[in-house]
Amino acid sequence: MSSNDSDKDKGAYETPAWLKRVQEGSWEPEILISGIVLFGLFKIYPLIEEFNYFLEMNSASIFSDGTVNEALTAILKFANIILLIGFLSHILFRSVWAAFVGLSYIYKSGVKYEDLNYPDKYLRTIRKSGDYQQQIIKLEKICSVIFAISFLVFMWVAGLAVFVAIIAGAISIFQSVFPGNYDYTIFNNVLTIFLILVFTDFVSLGGLRKIPFINKVYYPIHRLAGWLTLAFLYRNIYYGVISNHKKWKVSLILFLFGLFTVVSVLFLRSDGFIFGRTIALAPYGANEYRLDESKYRSKVTDGFYSKRMHISDYVIDEEYLELFIVHTPEFEQERIMVACDYDNAKEKEGVSYDSLRMACLENFYGVALDGKLLQDDFIYQRNSLTGQDGLLTIVDVSKLNTGKHRLDLYYDMYYPEGDTTRHEIAEQIIFYKTKRLLK
């Protein structure tokens, strides 16, 4: 090799002066970004639940079915928690790093072991920590890696959320253009296999791409997964981490993290999940034993009203009460429109569309007071207070005795496979009737 070639190779790998300056001062933007991100993360967590509520109340049936939207918001919550842990850890280590930087300036010689007068077995432990300069270098590496991995984890989980949103959105558009009852079993199986292959390749550090025959079949799956999960934003961070550490350790960490992700998302989706719950005997599931304040409009302060039905207050001293039944697209396509044969009925000559729609809704929803089914008397309303669409009905309670009473909401669920209709209870509201005091 000639000296000219050697000089070219040396120049090709020489770090530019401006990049060295950026690397040396990288701690400044790291701390600034961590502080800004942490402030935003603490603010954004409650908004995720509002996003879930918005999807259920205002979006297509695939979101109001209570599965896709919950999975999507659970993923976002998990990403939020992981980022909080990552950036808080980064701030903590950076604070220790800053302390050592300051001490290295004040105490040039570092720790004076001979002045401690400790026995050797104690001094060995202290010497293992190294001098200030070594600790600063070590902490610098730790902080940079934590910062990069925090961003990597966030983008990976956010990419997963984008993937779920794209799939759900595509299905929603398909159902809107081609309405009907569809069996998604095959699609679910294909999607499950797709996710298993991508996850296996991820935790095995590209293991599927190293097998001669499988890598050809897997290549289009790998490319598609990269597009759907925004891999271009974090790809080089991922490959940088796995190529500079022992592969078995990275694989184990990724596998445990993936498992932790799945378990955490399932817990965050669960309605029964309450962090730090210690009260063992508190009734949680049964409506008749627990007061859910989202069902009483006067009690709601956070904007999260019941997704099924609600009344004005728990204590009723009037002769009537306003019951609002929330209507979403959840059962429209598969249950309500099929049960009332909407598609065929609307083609009949002289039919009133609004009358037909109300008839379909009245056939589906039913209300019972203390176990006795009431006569349907509904009017459709866009509730300006709650921002929900639904049916308003006035319930006469003038003849009720003083005491506790119960309202039941029923769905007449039509099952076309057996041509049967089931009268299923969907929600209950407990209220207390009292006599109005005369002034």
- What are the mean pLDDT values of the chain's consecutive 10-residue runs (439 residues total)? 49 59 64 77 75 64 56 74 83 85 80 80 78 82 82 76 77 71 68 81 82 87 84 82 76 74 63 51 66 89 86 91 88 79 82 88 91 88 89 92 92 80 88 76
Instruction: Tell me what pLDDT residue 20 has.
Output: 61
- Please answer whether residues 365 and 325 qualify as being in contact, where contact means their C-beta atoms are separated by less than 8 angstroms: yes
What is the model's pLDDT at position 276?
46
Question: In sequence order, what are the residues at sequence separation of 6 or more whose Cβ sits closer than 8 angstroms to the Cβ of residue 365?
Answer: 325, 327, 376, 378, 391, 409, 410, 411, 412
Distance CA 218, CA 105 (A): 55
Domain extent listing, the chain: 15-182+234-269, 288-433
CB 109 within 8 A of CB 115: no
**Token reading at 209:** 């791409």
Distance, in Å, from the CA atom of 245 to the CA atom of 249, rounded to the nearest integer, reads 8
Q: What string of H, E and C letters represents the secondary structure of the chain?
A: CCHHHHHHHHHHCCCCHHHHHHHHCCHHHHHHHHHHHHHHHHHHHHHHHHHHHHHHHHCCHHHHCCCHHHHHHHHHHHHHHHHHHHHHHHHHHHHHHHHHHHHHHHCCCCCCHHHHCCCHHHHHHHHHCCCHHHHHHHHHHHHHHHHHHHHHHHHHHHHHHHHHHHHHHHHHHHHHHCCCCCCCHHHHHHHHHHHHHHHHHHHCCCHHHHCHHHHHHHHHHHHHHHHHCCHHHCHHHHHHHHHCCCHHHHHHHHHHHHHHHHHHHHHHHCCCCCCCCCCCCCCCCCHHHCCCHHHEHHHCCCCCCCCCEEECCCEECCCEEEEEEECCHHHHHHHHHHHCCHHHHCCCCCCCHHHHHHHHHHHHEEEEECCEECCCCCEEEEECCCCEEEEEEEEECCCCCCEEEEEEEEEEEEECCCCEEEEEEEEEEEEEECCCCCC
Quick one: pLDDT at residue 296?
93
The domain 288-433 is classified under which CATH number: 2.60.40.10, 1.20.140.10, 3.40.50.300, 3.40.50.2000?
2.60.40.10
